[in-house]
Structure 1
Amino acid sequence: MTAPFLSLAQIRNRLILTARWVLRDHQPAPDGRCPACRTADCPVAVAARDVLRAATEVHLWSATARPDEPGQDGPRETG
């Protein structure tokens, strides 16, 4: 459960911990099937990996956004 007073970093950390917990529970058995879902390609594990990838690669909470090209701060005015 997330409360309104948590920082973005705390929410991110909770997402990462939850995704890791899910991956531990849905780790494939020696036969290649998920012990919880009983499928070869567990959709829950795929979703947890996607959450981990998004939480560790994307930093959307950055206070300063970088422009795509140097020297351009935003949309140009046409006149």
Structure 2
Amino acid sequence: MTAPFLSLAQIRNRLILTARWVLREHRPGPDRRCPTCRTADCPPAAAARDVLRAATQVHLWCPPAQPPGPDGDAPRRAGDGG
């Protein structure tokens, strides 16, 4: 399947799987260096950690909560009688 036919949850799951795969490939060895990049601070591993952090913190299926109004109550709508 291609991206236009995937749901947001499927795209999120593929991002997570890809980031985990990158982290497995770029896991530091005993000398604390990436075996692929041969650097101590591997940029692909850092990017994969950022993707995992972002993908697991965002809940695509929950709408964001509305902030309380200036008086601490929920925002009022016109015609509420309040």
Normalising by the residue count of structure 1, what TM-score does the alignment of the two structures yield? Answer: 0.81
What runs of 5+ residues in structure 1 fail to find an aligned partner? Answer: 74-79
Partner of 1:56: 56
Residue pair 1:32, 1:40 contacting (<8 A) in 2 also:
yes
Q: Judging changes above 3 Å, is the alpha-carbon distance between structure 1 residues 68 and 2 closer, same or farther for their aligned structure 2 residues?
A: farther
Greater gyration radius? 2
CA RMSD of aligned residues (A): 1.8
Distance apart, 1:63 and its partner CA: 5.4
Contact 1:15/1:51 (8 A) holds in 2: yes
Which residue of the partner structure matches residue 71 of structure 1?
Answer: 74
Give the structure-2-normalised TM-score: 0.78
Percent identity reads: 71
List alignment gaps of at least 5 residues for structure 2.
Answer: 77-82
Q: How many residues align?
A: 72
8 Å contact kept, 1:16–1:51: yes
Q: Return the offset for 1:41.
A: 0.7
The equivalent of 1:12 in structure 2 is: 12
Moved more, 44-53 or 64-73: 64-73
> Is contact 1:2–1:11 with CA below 8 Å preserved after alignment?
no
Counterpart mapping for 1:6-45 below 5 A: 6-45=6-45
